[in-house]
Amino acid sequence: MSEVFYQRLQSLFKGEQIKTEELLARHTSFQIGGPADYFLLPEEENQVAEAIKLCKEEKMPFFILGKGSNLLVSDRGYHGVIIKLAKNFSRIEIEGNKVTAQSGASLSKMAEEIAKRSLTGFEFASGIPGTLGGAVTMNAGAYGGEMKDIICDATVLDTDGRIRFLNKDELRLGYRQSIVQEEKMVVLSVSLLLKEGKEEDIRAAMAELTKKRKEKQPLEYPSAGSTFKRPEGHFAGKLIMDSGLRGYSVGNAEVSEKHCGFVINKGGATALEVYTLIQDVIRIVYEKQGVRLEPEVRLLGEF
């Protein structure tokens, strides 16, 4: 690590906002991942912008992290700067039927605050274990709803370090994609437009979705949610099951017996074991079903 670079970071971040050799297994839903050279916890937009500007000046790799719910981090960790936008960057404001929140806001916490205001349309996201920024970047969706259905606009940081305002059309939201992802932008805040409803109906819908998740998904194990994108005309979980891979394992990584679309950490799994299992599933499903699966989980670090 560079002492000069660290000193420059310390001019931007104080106390617990900056760490070194932070184990990323503590910050991913897989509970897997080695240490990051530098780990930052900004609270304001200007800190995010300045940190990225410094990384570019020093040619230091950096990665924006939310709750780490769709991420597999190498056992070797990450040689660069992790900028975590989570509870420290999670202010939520609700005015009428418009909700504006910083990108680090937890989707589950947002769902609770939105339900209190009797606003409907966000129920589908209540059980997604991620942040608002990640949900917009991936156009997250579940149970018939997607972010593109409710988003109004977003404030982003582009690759030139400019803070930009993008409306819904400019975000180009599609199936698990957006201009944010394509052009490697950083979501800073998002506005959603919801509808008035009844709190009891909203909470009933959220409870029903939670029940479905518990029944169908292996929530008792660390995972990154659905491991593979849905192939056109197919369901990834069924293709994997029909290929005889239910319960298939590599070390302590396993294709869930409860839902074959999930790869789970049975306890102590390494990133290499998960990665190897994913590659095995892709190869075997293609050999047996003629469909090439594409991972939804993102990789960080060396594999």
Contact 165/153 with Cβ under 8 angstroms?
Answer: yes
For the chain, which residues make up each domain, given as ranges? 3-87, 90-201, 219-300
Using alpha carbons only, give the angle 191, 177, 125 rounded to the nearest 5 degrees: 50
pLDDT computed for residue 168 by the predictor = 96
Q: Report, as an integer, the average pLDDT of 264-271.
A: 97
The domain 219-300 having CATH identifier 3.90.78.10: the answer here is yes
pLDDT computed for residue 88 by the predictor = 86
pTM of the model: 0.88
Task: Say if residue 44's pLDDT is above 70.
Answer: yes
**Length of the chain measured in residues:** 303
Kindly list the catalytic residues.
Answer: 176, 226, 296
Contact 26/35 with Cβ under 8 angstroms?
Answer: no
Q: Report, as an integer, the average pLDDT of 224-249.
A: 96
**pLDDT level of residue 127 (50, 70, 90 thresholds):** confident
Q: Report, as an integer, the average pLDDT of 5-12.
A: 93
**pLDDT level of residue 1 (50, 70, 90 thresholds):** low
Distance CA 128, CA 142 (A): 8
The domain 90-201 having CATH identifier 3.30.465.10: the answer here is yes
Task: Say if residue 32's pLDDT is above 90.
Answer: yes
Averaged confidence pLDDT in the chain: 95
Distance CA 156, CA 170 (A): 12
Q: Report, as an integer, the average pLDDT of 199-219.
A: 94
Task: Say if residue 146's pLDDT is above 80.
Answer: yes
Distance CA 157, CA 139 (A): 17
Distance CA 107, CA 132 (A): 6
Helices and strands in the chain: count of H runs, count of E runs: 9, 19
Longest dimension (CA), the chain: 56
Distance CA 50, CA 186 (A): 13
Q: Report, as an integer, the average pLDDT of 243-264.
A: 98
Each residue of 208-243: b (16+ CB within 10 Å) or e? Answer: ebeeebeeebbbebbbbbbbbebeeeeebbebbbeb
Distance CA 203, CA 118 (A): 9
Q: Which fold has domain 3-87?
A: 3.30.43
